[in-house]
Chain A
């Protein structure tokens, strides 16, 4: 392998590895705009220019590879290339590129949503000039509406063409193009052909400056206020890795601080979702907002559900369960609940000797984004639940036979109620769910459950990858994590369970579920002690 000296470090560089990657491996950050590991290299922003000894000009690190030199020609006797990423020549070039980029860039950082995570801002601080030498009038092209969810602030564009390459190479939809030439070049869509595909949200993440702005997020918050939490998208069985950006904000006219997930962004995972997520997942919480959330426990009084306290709701539930023999009770797991929650449900069912089943996930459209330039086709799965495989595994079930299981049962306890169609209502229906729907309307007891943003756990995706999601915000209203509700029900039924947090549940699950025996708890739960989910007994 060729040996390269980058600044003062010696690095072995692969045959087709770029200088940029080799430098990154040893911790040398080379600034860049147009480079993205998932897109074709165009080397057009010229920000990553480095000085390679022997080359007449500065070379772009993102596209330069190093061939092995014959022994006699090696530099300093052993190197195939000697590269400086920070000498005066390189610094001048970087300063010049930043000066050029800022000629026409509006300095509207105070009202730009990207401020704080903007590459132009960051690099200008790090490598740029303190003042502009441009005394002419800036070019101010108008903002464009590209489609249902994206604005293009044309004047902020630095023409890195990442978004154009994304639509050409990843989504394959090719809506975005460069129009005009030179200084007048702009990103645009064709008339009547808006940017409208299920992957379009990714161009906003790709934009290194605040040119592409998501309409859902515009003017909603400043990025330096955000807290980032690793999560998993529950939209389908693909299990895309995401980051939840949350912040506390003050509700109008109210003193209290409210937690809110401000946006969902993809998190790199090369085996699952690479660098992308689909818009179904990205705007998942927008869809949730349209549904009615169950905020407090309810108990049926007469023909209506009445709001009650947790203590009352639990005592009513226990009363109903104890009134019948355990054989007449069925516990129904959910493909929307985490492995840990399903595991606890299964454990309870086995201990009590009740019926056990899992409800079916919702099936919807599937769509695959595939181009010949992308080695990783992106598929939105038709199984619109994050954990069907995991639920079946932890509950040791092969398939859902809901109607059969609950046919002769008097008390049915359900985790969630998505897509459940009851042929006949059991005598007592207890639903632990988050949203109101046709099933919860029939329930005798409703226990409000926390969403995936409000609790932690693991999902097993369609390929069997067990992935951890973390609590990002506090549970809304009086809702609680399902595993906590189950622990409370179990203790009411005479079981003395003690779990300090969901990590304890996971530990026990890994010991008892054969398929998960090889999982490494430390890797899944590196921070489980900070989850702050105290068990309520």
Chain B
């Protein structure tokens, strides 16, 4: 709290979507500086700043950009992944709806860095408002010469197109997104070849999250060292909080601080029960594990992940069986149907949980669920299989031959699952006066 807002500086300012307002607040200052640098220097700058992808996987951005083949004569593409469909994630929406010019400036710098002259924003179909705002902002940027031919006299050309998705979680996976953008069914591709070598329309392609692509604006404006010391991050705080919402905080802010200080604590003063810290795909944390810094490494150490920083907070009235069932319903619904383990497994898990929740569970179902999750994770083309398995059975453990470590819903809240099975009802009872 009290920290200077960087990424969300424009939020709350009247007409923040307008280019003049953006310029008045110091916008489009990084772009001319970037255009005077060399693309290689920009990529090196991203590497030095240590920015990691903010869409979920946390892959180092500078390294991703440097994978582009140097000798490929085909055009390069930058795809801005604004599909934002991970449950519990809503940070890109804030960026696009309240500060579209920051996004455009980031895209222009990134495009220059990877020498792409065409950039697509693949925006989630439901973000109608965001798409409208972006389109308007892009037009303004064209008019002012920040996009189009010969940007700011640098000789660099860039066109940005907004492409609205048709509503599928899987189109947020980078190769699924590429297929969807090409007009095909959003079935992820097998890798290799990676998009950097063979991406959209068969050309070298970089796919990055919206928040990742705005970072170069601030790194250029404030310098690599400042960035490393003060890396800002957007956290999507949802669930049983007094003030849920998107919060900007320093990377590595303690989870409890986020809950208690930023979000005003748990609603009605109840007790914290569990947190899913990084969007629905990552293993859950018990309340006692929540004293953790919200960054990639610290969360990995406690057996979870930062993911997309979609933090779902659950208080003591939450039935964990029902919560997991809810998550798995989502994955079963969104599985694209390409790979056998994910297509069949996600639905099977959902059915097993449905039985337990409705009082028809068997004790052996718990181990069956863990085994099924193990049979899905790591055996599919894209990470959707992993995303469905990890909430059930935790992250892969390198020491156990990559088997899942079991540290998530089923084992962490096993007593609740067992109670459900033996007593055919929920362990959590909500006092009458709370309703």
Contacts and interface: CB of A to CB of B under 8 A. Distances in A.
A97 interface: yes
A182 B337 contact: yes
Contacts of A104: 344
A182 B379 contact: no
A183 B341 CA distance: 10
Interface in B336-380: 336-341, 343-348, 351-352, 355, 368, 375, 378-380
Nearest to A103: B344
B2 interface: no
Interface in A60-76: 60, 63
B335 A100 contact: no
Q: Most A CB atoms within 10 A — which of B187, B333, B341, B352?
A: B341
A185 B375 contact: no
Nearest to A185: B337
Contacts of B380: 46
Contact of A178 (B168, B333, B337, B375): B337
Q: Most A CB atoms within 10 A — which of B168, B343, B345?
A: B343
B335 A182 contact: yes
A101 B340 contact: yes
Contacts of A185: 336-337, 343
A133 B349 CA distance: 12
A197 B287 CA distance: 62
Given A58-B379, A96-B375, A183-B335, A46 B341 contact: yes
A201 to B, nearest CB: 26
A264 interface: no
Given A44-B381, A46-B380, A56-B402, A100 B337 contact: no
B348 A134 contact: yes
A45 to B, nearest CB: 6
Given A41-B190, A182-B332, A183-B335, A96 B348 contact: no
A250 B346 CA distance: 49
Q: Most A CB atoms within 10 A — which of B185, B337, B347, B355?
A: B337
Contacts of B355: 136
A158 interface: yes
B361 to A, nearest CB: 11
Contacts of B341: 46, 96-97, 100
Contacts of A100: 340-341, 343-345, 348, 375
Given A93-B375, A96-B379, A183-B344, A46 B339 contact: yes
Given A43-B190, A136-B351, A181 B401 contact: no
Contact of B340 (A63, A97, A181): A97
B378 A58 contact: yes
B334 interface: yes
B340 A158 contact: yes
A43 B345 CA distance: 17
Contacts of A184: 337
Contacts of B333: 181-182
Interface string B310-337: 0000000000000000000000111111
Given A57-B402, A97-B340, A178 B335 contact: no
A57 B379 contact: yes
A99 B187 CA distance: 23
A119 B334 CA distance: 28
A60 B402 contact: no
A58 B380 CA distance: 9
Contact of A44 (B168, B340, B351): B340
B378 A60 contact: no
A519 B185 CA distance: 51
Contacts of A96: 341, 375, 379
A170 interface: no
Nearest to A180: B337
B338 A44 contact: yes
Contacts of A49: 379
A181 B336 contact: yes
B168 A183 contact: no
A133 to B, nearest CB: 6
Nearest to A47: B340
A89 interface: yes
Contacts of A206: none
A184 B346 CA distance: 12
A89 B379 CA distance: 11
A476 interface: no
Given A46-B341, A101-B344, A182-B343, A93 B335 contact: no
A109 to B, nearest CB: 19
A183 B351 CA distance: 12
B421 to A, nearest CB: 14
A474 to B, nearest CB: 45
Contacts of A472: none
B288 to A, nearest CB: 30
Interface in A83-112: 89, 92-93, 96-97, 99-101, 103-104
A181 B402 contact: no
A42 interface: yes
A372 to B, nearest CB: 12
8 contacts: A45-B339, A45-B340, A46-B340, A93-B379, A181-B168, A182-B343, A183-B332, A183-B344
Given A44-B187, A100-B340, A158-B340, 11 more contacts: A42-B338, A44-B340, A44-B381, A46-B340, A46-B341, A56-B378, A97-B340, A159-B337, A182-B334, A182-B336, A182-B346
- Top-3 shortest CB links A-B: A185-B337, A96-B375, A100-B344
